[in-house]
Structure 1
């Protein structure tokens, strides 16, 4: 394709052919995609997107957890345009800065509430959550070096967690499929089991007791490694890409007790949960723990332009600033002026429309009630939500908790029925998950739940017709 062809209208088939010939997609079986052709999304408005064939889809995944203010917000396009015309780019190296990056850093610091003795006055910018977690690894190890404890290099994470797909991010995450490709994890990364009561709870055990027991796996791992070697524990407030797994209420208080006891840094990976998704600007406020570092990305710009970063608590920032000298780490696009300008406009929309408050209030309450109703479906073993994110597990027998064989691909069957009937819902193994835009209305929640039921009914019919249930 030459320059003159860039604006030429193409048919769906032509776009699919070009896509197959030139575009290697993330987390994709390239051969499989080439055999069926990619779905071409051409526009979005509110909580809906349309494909190249004119099919309307309710986007219950906010793109990829990120389009929090919905599609088609002219204010964000205008913010990008105005900044591009004024200063499209300049780097933050060489003792240089730019106005949007400075203003956004101050704004983020004002939104991050102080919890106990933890406060956040500094931001380190990246372009994604993956990069941000690389920065976390670098800052954590630099922090302990500067305190004269260079042996504290081990970072503990959780099985089935997701912290990005760079080498460091994938190592920190607990996805076995990612670890199998590329000799991961890298050294000095350890994992403990996830706080998934549905799967790991013992017969007769209460969810409250399980929460304390699951947190105790962290202490066991610290003692096995040696407390003087452990640098940090990293975790999502609730696990997103792992299937929307919400920890028991007793989990985070016990985690806090353990990290305090052994003087270990706590990293809250809020790439999915920050900026109103759980009804608060940052999710640690909802769960009441005290992180030292907060990973953010996605919803900070509602996905309109790439931006990520780390909120650096004073405990870490003070050491890096006062003792550190030059920090040999950073990115070309750290504090990109256009991305920061869009983020400022996006946060202004969230404040003006009180999006975190509406998720903490009427809209979030209604969403939780409607989603819980899915527990009565014969395929659903558990439907659970928190704020405006939710997941359900598909079971062969919901009463005995018998699972489908992995080769059935029950999640992908359900996902296909979702797409065919106008709904974007993500499959993670046998779990189906959603995270709609924070602007979703009561009527749109009703529409969404109706579409989910249609997909569940069609999945059940297909499984029964094939003798798989």
Structure 2
């Protein structure tokens, strides 16, 4: 029985749980509206996970189509990872890497260095992805100061790209609406066009032509700002915000050439993209380029512990190895021994079960299954790579017209989240950029789960057409 067939009705729902009541009164949720959440519209309480499935406190089963938050690569309920965490906590629950280390942190740094491309051998641990991006910018600034180029401090990133919530990472983020309440931010963030082929019909579907044009805009921005002032270019191999925006390998090769020519560091932000989301430990390997820095987090532990990292090349670490030099930056929880031990076990598990291979074997089928939805009038585009896909919703399929503010409010904020969850699918409706629904399931997913996602999406999106 699918989650859609098994969905409960409001009449069958038990009274609001104590957890939902407490959350409505005291929990300050992330990226969520909180008005009226202690009454008839309670905060959903997720109590259990197993494999691809989640259950809430009302017994409602939901297919996890987002791996929690692009995180749970190995699936829910992996007891062996919990047991590793318990064992490590009983031996040594905590010690910082501020001039010291622990066996799990040292071993994980070595493991990540072997997995990373090229000579990216130096691992700086953080608590999560935003901190990893923040760390990368600070490293880039200090790197050029140590090399006698103190004016190089600016960062170029892409329009609608999301790179995190700390003030520095937010300054790199290309979403004005997300930044406006916190401005002024750290100065030095500059934007270039992204690679949304659907929104550039003038290229006639030619991804290579769009890639050349978009890469040229990066060099144009460096030259306009002055190469002597630009420290880094930050890109995701597949851009999350805006809806799983892809680019050809030639685009990244061109970025590598541009950064080398102008002495600019190339940063691959793989907070979402790494650890199998695209069938490789690091997505830059799949897309054929070697950056100077990789930022990563999320799937490193499959969500069984919080952990992120910035991984730098030997070129980047070199000036920091000079006598008397320190990188005055760090996090209390960076390299936490419990999380590091869990990450090692998670990487072992994914290798043993060949989860990267599972993604490569089934990514085409996943995309093909979602493309069935293109027969719906509301579906304009289906795009993505690996186990990371987006469905762009449109008001008019022929003209590619998107929704106005009021329609977005009804569709993305008010209707889709509850309807999808109620119909048995947890995924991500989003309108940072154009209106999309994103899918990024655990890497254990196969055709049965793809079919279930498509059925629930078809049912929900068909009903959504009446909303707008």
The TM tier, using the shorter chain, reads over 0.9
- Equivalent runs, 1:15-164 vs 2, <5 Å: 15-31=19-35, 33-34=37-38, 36-93=41-98, 95-114=99-118, 119-164=119-164
Secondary structure of the structure 1 residue equivalent to 2:182: coil
Deviation at 1:324, TM superposition (A): 6.2
Q: Could you tell me which residue of structure 2 aligns to residue 332 of structure 1? A: 332
Cα distance in 2 for partners of 1:327, 1:157 equals: 24
Alignment of 1:189-228 (within 5 A): 189-202=189-202, 204=204, 206-228=206-228
Contact 1:371 1:384 in 2 (8 A): no
Q: Give the superposition deviation at 1:257.
A: 2.1
Q: TM-score scaled to structure 2, two decimals? A: 0.92
Structure 2 unaligned spans of 5+: 1-13
CA contact (8 A) 1:371 1:385 kept: no
Tell me by how many angstroms 1:157 deviates. Answer: 1.1
Residue 323 of structure 1: how far off its partner (Å): 5.9
Find out whether 1:292 has 2:321 as its counterpart.
no
- 1:6 corresponds to which residue? none
Q: Distance in 1 between matches of 2:270 and 2:430?
A: 19
Contact 1:153 1:230 in 2 (8 A): yes
- Residue 395 of structure 2 is aligned to residue 396 of structure 1: yes
* Equivalent position SS for 2:390: strand
Q: Which residue of 1 aligns with 2:16?
A: 12
2:429 — aligned with what?
A: 427
Give the whole-Å Cα distance in 1 for the aligned partners of 2:398 and 2:249: 25
1:436 aligns with 2:435: no
Query: Which residue number corresponds to residue 364 of structure 2?
Result: 365
Q: Could you tell me how far apart the structure 2 residues matched to 1:173 and 1:324 are? A: 34
Extract unaligned runs of 5+ from structure 1: 1-9
Contact 2:129/2:295 (CA < 8 Å) preserved in 1? yes
The answer to whether 1:375 aligns with 2:374 is yes
Counterpart Cα distance in 2 of 1:310 and 1:96: 18
Contact 1:271 1:295 in 2 (8 A): yes
Closer/same/farther in 2, CA of residues 154 and 34 from structure 1, 3 Å limit? farther
Counterpart for residue 350 of structure 2? 350
Q: Which residue is 2:280 aligned to? A: 280
Number of equivalent positions: 448
RMSD over aligned Cα atoms: 1.7
Following TM superposition, by how much is the alpha carbon of 1:201 offset from its aligned partner in structure 2, in angstroms? 4.1
Q: TM-score, normalised by structure 1?
A: 0.92
Does the C-alpha gap of structure 1 residues 211 and 323 become closer, same or farther in structure 2, counting only changes over 3 Å? farther
Q: Does 2:412 match 1:411?
A: yes
User: How far has the Cα of 1:40 moved from its partner?
Assistant: 0.6
Task: Tell me the distance in 2 between the aligned counterparts of 1:128 and 1:296.
Answer: 8
Mean CA deviation greater in 377-386 or 429-438: 377-386
Deviates more, 1:448-457 or 1:125-134: 448-457
The CA deviation string for residues 363-390 of structure 1, in whole angstroms up to 9 with x for no partner, is 2222122122222222111011200010
Tell which deviates more after alignment, 187-196 or 66-75: 187-196
| CA deviation vs aligned residue, 1:88-139 (integer Å, no higher than 9, x gap) | 001112x32100000101111111132xxxx111100000001111111111
Q: Aligned-pair distance for 1:33? A: 3.9
Q: 2:17 touches 2:57 (CA, 8 Å); kept in 1?
A: no
Aligned match of 2:170: 170
Cα deviation digits, residues 402-441 of structure 1 (max 9, x gap): 2222211233433332112101120111111110000112
